Amino acid sequence: MELVERARRGDRRAIARLITLTENETPEAAGILKEIYPFTGNAHIVGITGPPGSGKSTLTDKLAKELRKNGKTIGILAVDPTSPFTGGAILGDRVRMSDLSLDDGIYIRSMGTRGKLGGLSKATNYAVKILDACCFDYVFIETVGVGQSEVDIVKTADTTIVVALPGLGDDIQAIKAGIMEIGDFFVVNKADRDGANRVVTELQAMLDLNPHKTAWIPPIMMTVASQNEGIAKVVETIDQHFSYLDESGELMKRRQQRIELEVEDLVVQKLFSYINKKMGQGNRYIQDIEQIMSKEKDPYTLVNELVKESLK
């Protein structure tokens, strides 16, 4: 496909077009994904997540600038919650990052979650692959929110950075506990604020509780991203983590798991659309649902019937 070739030579409009085509799940999408697949697997994919207001965007921005000093290229996907009413992205990252987008070695794209609240959408996963195949050295995925999106990042990223900040209330801290397990390292941003040391201590205490220790001990570091403080150290740690993954065999293991998960997800999606079509056909299913509504039948019996009818 000529578009793929152009994108792989660094044509930004072609890259944008590929992302849009897969994002909208056009008929071309499957072919694009197949074609780029052999070129993937070279980028270091870094997830950056944390609660709202932790300054993830500024941090991502500064990390990218730091990496540029070493001649590295960076693709940035800013996953932005979509307003369900307007369909548009809410936070407007596109605008925020515009000074970076003048640099040819950086490509920035805002991804709306399109109503899949908090979920890093399938589209983001496709966009990661496209940027990877288009030869960026690093792909950063930056997500807002607490919840499912963090788990989804782990599925896609080689390295996950959890960003915290001083001075949040106690139960935001509690929720943060839920994302402790996914952090390969932790950055306490806005560390010039009161309470930064306390957050570091709390994070350390939580990490010490982790019974599943590996050779990689998740470091905790402080930054003031807006002042560029601590940024070089974070970049260094990103690279150290990649070396650890590579040398320990963990990288291959994670990437294999990622492929298995992706295959499973796609299989589920296909099954779902198959069943959806099957159920949508004819009067039988309508009758079934009516009987369930009137309690003559229960949903579990119908499920067993449908499964039996579907499988070879």
Helix axes 29-36, 122-133, angle to 10 degrees: 40
Residue choice 204, 214, 248, 256 for contact with its own copies (CB under 8 A) = 256
Structure tokens at 310: 């579907």
Helix (H) or strand (E) holding 46: strand 44-50
Quick note: the x/- pattern for its own copies over 44-73, rule CB under 8 A, is --------xx--------------------
Q: Does 33 bind its own copies (CB under 8 A)?
A: yes
Structure tokens at 193: 């604020």
Stretch that binds its own copies, among 34-42, 59-67, 155-163, 219-227 (CB under 8 A): 34-42
Q: Does 37 bind its own copies (CB under 8 A)?
A: yes
Structure tokens at 11: 């044509």
Helix (H) or strand (E) holding 8: helix 2-8
Query: Cβ 250 to its own copies, closest distance in Å?
Result: 14
Q: Does 279 bind its own copies (CB under 8 A)?
A: yes
Q: Does 177 bind its own copies (CB under 8 A)?
A: yes
Query: Cβ 83 to its own copies, closest distance in Å?
Result: 5
Residue choice 274, 281, 284, 287 for contact with its own copies (CB under 8 A) = 274
CB 117 within 8 A of CB 81: yes
**Up-side HSE of residue 70: CA atoms within 13 Å toward CB?**
12
Query: Cβ 260 to its own copies, closest distance in Å?
Result: 6
**Short-list 244, 189, 256, CA closest to 217:** 244
Q: State the Cα–Cα distance between residues 104 and 123, nearest whole angstrom.
A: 23
Q: State the Cα–Cα distance between residues 156 and 83, nearest whole angstrom.
A: 24
Q: Does 202 bind its own copies (CB under 8 A)?
A: no
CB 60 within 8 A of CB 142: yes
Stretch that binds its own copies, among 69-77, 142-150, 155-163, 187-195 (CB under 8 A): 142-150
Query: Cβ 85 to its own copies, closest distance in Å?
Result: 5
35 vs 103, beta carbon nearer its own copies = 35
Q: State the Cα–Cα distance between residues 223 and 227, nearest whole angstrom.
A: 9
- 3 state SS of 160: strand
Q: Does 1 bind its own copies (CB under 8 A)?
A: no
Residue choice 9, 204, 267, 287 for contact with its own copies (CB under 8 A) = 267
Contacts 24+ apart (CB under 8 A), 271-278: 274/310, 275/306, 275/310, 278/306, 278/309, 278/310
Q: Does 209 bind its own copies (CB under 8 A)?
A: yes
Residue choice 210, 227, 243, 248 for contact with its own copies (CB under 8 A) = 210
CB 156 within 8 A of CB 126: no
Residue choice 1, 5, 30, 284 for contact with its own copies (CB under 8 A) = 30
Query: Cβ 105 to its own copies, closest distance in Å?
Result: 26
Residue choice 157, 179, 188, 235 for contact with its own copies (CB under 8 A) = 179
Q: Does 252 bind its own copies (CB under 8 A)?
A: yes
Query: Is residue 161 packed enough to be buried (19+ CB in 10 Å), middle (13-18) or exposed (0-12)?
Result: buried
95 vs 311, beta carbon nearer its own copies = 311
Cα separations in angstroms, 213 against 52, 153, 169, 179, 181: 29, 21, 28, 16, 11
Quick note: the x/- pattern for its own copies over 90-129, rule CB under 8 A, is xx---------------------x-xxxxx----------
Q: Does 249 bind its own copies (CB under 8 A)?
A: no
